[in-house]
């Protein structure tokens, strides 16, 4: 009786019969009519699909069994940009087919590697997993040369390195920022941003642009620099290029710069700003001191008038106690109009600038000699953008200091 009851219980509680294996193990499979799912294709490959564009695919589901196939649930993939259509039928009769549309709209450069799962009442495979794959063409930045050694460069000499920034990828490269860091920012620096002067910049695949890294050593200490180009390259968002170099050995000098201006001045030495407590007081002067190595050094001075009485600038440079340059000796070059923004850069070409004009005797007599005794003793004279120093405005001066 117990055996009979067990047989009735089994045949009454399952939808599809099962047969026990002869070895007493797990059942061998369904008996009698049952549904069977067939999914085509077994894998969906969207191929290469650019960002912001949509790729489409269709998935067919067929019941190749002998009983109704119930599609219980469609589990969407865990991936951004995937959109599933609606199933046309939830129950498929034998030999009946339905389909579902699938689209992929990538918004990043990340490749697609996910899967779609279908749950049904197929007793042989309750869950069917369909892999979804695809790749997004991406930009790829290349900065060359990646490493550069300027070697040993004469102090004060300028050497330029052209650095190429290329897009060797398959999609547009967007460059957002360019930085350069150096152990000595007035010796190793970006001399010209070139095609990267205006950002952001987009480079099509296979195109490139250039910038200039400039090296102008003032000493024999090792200089190191690193260029960083920020872009939307998904694998190299901060592309770098390194530079090193040395200046030739030499000696150091004590340099003193004496300046006053009617009415105000500001200056730079080798591109680094200098000023003084009396920069806005023509009745007093300032002295800027530096310990400078062998090489070429550039002093720039912008002078301007405020009160429209008389205008002028007077200065001299003393090296190890001796006067090397004095305003009025022809070494101070002049621009009468506002020069380019990089005019204070040591590498700026001012060779076309004329010598500054000497203020005429009548105008120069306005300034009390007692206030500028040191300047007079050094041979310095008042200079301006005109011999008539009652023509107001502002003037720009440059002088090169060559230290052997």
pLDDT digits (tens, 9 = 90+) for 110-140: 999 999 999 999 999 999 999 999 999 999 9
| Residue tagged 């890294």 (tokens) | 213
Mean pLDDT, to the nearest integer, of 44-48? 94
Please tell me whether residues 320 and 351 are part of one structural domain. yes
Look at 9 and 238; give whichever has higher pLDDT.
Answer: 238
Place 369 in a pLDDT band, splitting at 50, 70 and 90.
confident
pLDDT of residue 119: 94
Phi, psi of 304 (to 5 degrees): -145, 155
Question: 52 and 1, same structural domain?
Answer: no
Please give, one letter per residue, the 3-state secondary structure of 114-164. Answer: EEEEEEECCCCCCEEEEEEEEECCCCCEEEECCEEEEEEECCCCCEEEEEE
- pLDDT score for 14: 31
Q: Which of 269, 258, 253 is nearest to 403 (CA)?
A: 253
* Among candidate residues 217, 247, 277, the one where a domain is terminated: 247
Quick one: pLDDT at residue 395?
Answer: 96
Mean pLDDT of the chain: 89
- Omega of the bond leading into 42 within 30 degrees of 0 (cis): no
Asked if 270 and 399 sit in the same domain, the reply is yes
Mean pLDDT of 70-99: 89
Asked if residue 224 and residue 128 are part of one domain, the reply reads no
Same domain, 63 and 123: yes
Question: What end-to-end distance do the CA atoms of the chain give, in Å?
Answer: 119
Please, which residues bridge with residue 303 across strands?
265, 395
Is pLDDT of 22 > 60?
no
Determine the pLDDT at residue 192: 95
Q: What is the CATH number of the domain that holds 220?
A: 2.60.40.10
Token pair recorded at residue 18: 């099962």
pLDDT above 70 for 404: yes
Q: How far is 6 from 19, CA to CA, in rounded Å?
A: 14
Same domain, 72 and 166: no
Summarised one tens digit per residue, pLDDT across range 249-308 is 888 899 999 999 999 999 999 999 999 999 999 889 999 999 998 888 999 999 999 988
Is residue 320 domain-shared with residue 378, that is, in the same domain? yes
* Same domain for 256 and 392: yes
Q: Do 259 and 228 share a structural domain?
A: no
Domains of the chain: total: 4
Which pLDDT score, from 0 to 100, does residue 30 have?
Answer: 64
pLDDT tens-digit series, residues 320-352: 999 999 999 999 999 999 999 999 998 899 999
- Give the end of a domain, one of 247, 273, 294: 247
Return the structure tokens found at 253.
Answer: 């000098």
How far apart, in whole angstroms, are the C-alpha atoms of residue 301 and residue 327? Answer: 11
Residue 191 has pLDDT above 50, yes or no: yes
Banded pLDDT at 10 (limits 50, 70, 90) = very low
CATH of the domain at 329: 2.60.120
Q: Are residues 258 and 382 in the same domain?
A: yes
Instruction: List the domain range (segments joined by +) for residue 296.
Output: 252-403
């Amino acid at each position: 009786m117990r055996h009979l009851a067990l047989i009735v219980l089994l045949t009454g509680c399952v939808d599809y019969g099962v047969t026990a294996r002869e070895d007493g193990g797990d059942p061998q499979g369904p008996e009698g009519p049952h549904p069977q799912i067939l999914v085509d294709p077994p894998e969906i490959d969207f191929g290469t699909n650019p960002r912001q564009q949509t790729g489409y695919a269709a998935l067919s589901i067929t019941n190749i069994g002998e009983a109704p196939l119930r599609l219980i649930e469609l589990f969407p993939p865990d991936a951004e940009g995937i959109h599933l259509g609606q199933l046309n039928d939830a129950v498929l009769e034998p030999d009946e087919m339905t389909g579902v549309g699938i689209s992929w709209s990538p918004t990043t450069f990340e490749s697609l590697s996910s899967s779609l799962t279908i749950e049904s009442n197929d007793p042989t495979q309750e869950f069917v997993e369909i892999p979804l794959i695809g790749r997004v063409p991406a930009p790829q930045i290349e900065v060359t040369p990646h490493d550069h050694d300027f070697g040993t460069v004469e102090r004060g000499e300028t050497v330029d390195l052209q650095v190429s920034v290329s897009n060797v990828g398959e999609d547009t490269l967007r460059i957002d920022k360019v930085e350069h860091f150096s152990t000595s920012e007035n010796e190793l620096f970006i001399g010209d941003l070139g095609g990267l002067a205006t950002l952001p910049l987009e480079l099509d695949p296979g195109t490139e642009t250039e910038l200039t890294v400039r090296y102008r050593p003032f000493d024999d200490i090792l200089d190191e620099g690193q260029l960083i180009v920020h872009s939307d390259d998904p694998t190299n968002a901060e592309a770098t290029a390194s530079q090193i170099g040395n200046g030739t050995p030499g000696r150091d000098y004590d340099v003193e710069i004496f300046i006053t201006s009617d009415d105000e001045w500001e200056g730079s030495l080798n591109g680094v700003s200098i000023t003084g407590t009396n920069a806005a007081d023509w009745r007093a002067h300032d002295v800027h001191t530096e310990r400078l190595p062998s090489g070429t050094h550039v002093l720039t001075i912008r002078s301007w008038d405020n009160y429209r009485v008389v205008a002028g600038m007077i200065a001299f440079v003393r090296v190890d106690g001796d006067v090397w340059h004095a305003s009025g000796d022809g070494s101070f070059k002049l621009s009468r109009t506002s020069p380019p923004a990089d005019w204070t850069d040591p590498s700026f070409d001012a060779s076309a600038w004329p010598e500054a004009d000497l203020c005429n005797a009548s105008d120069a007599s306005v300034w009390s000699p007692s206030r500028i005794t040191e300047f007079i003793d050094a041979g310095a004279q008042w200079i301006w953008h005109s011999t008539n120093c009652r023509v107001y405005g502002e003037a720009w001066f440059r002088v090169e200091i060559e230290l052997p």
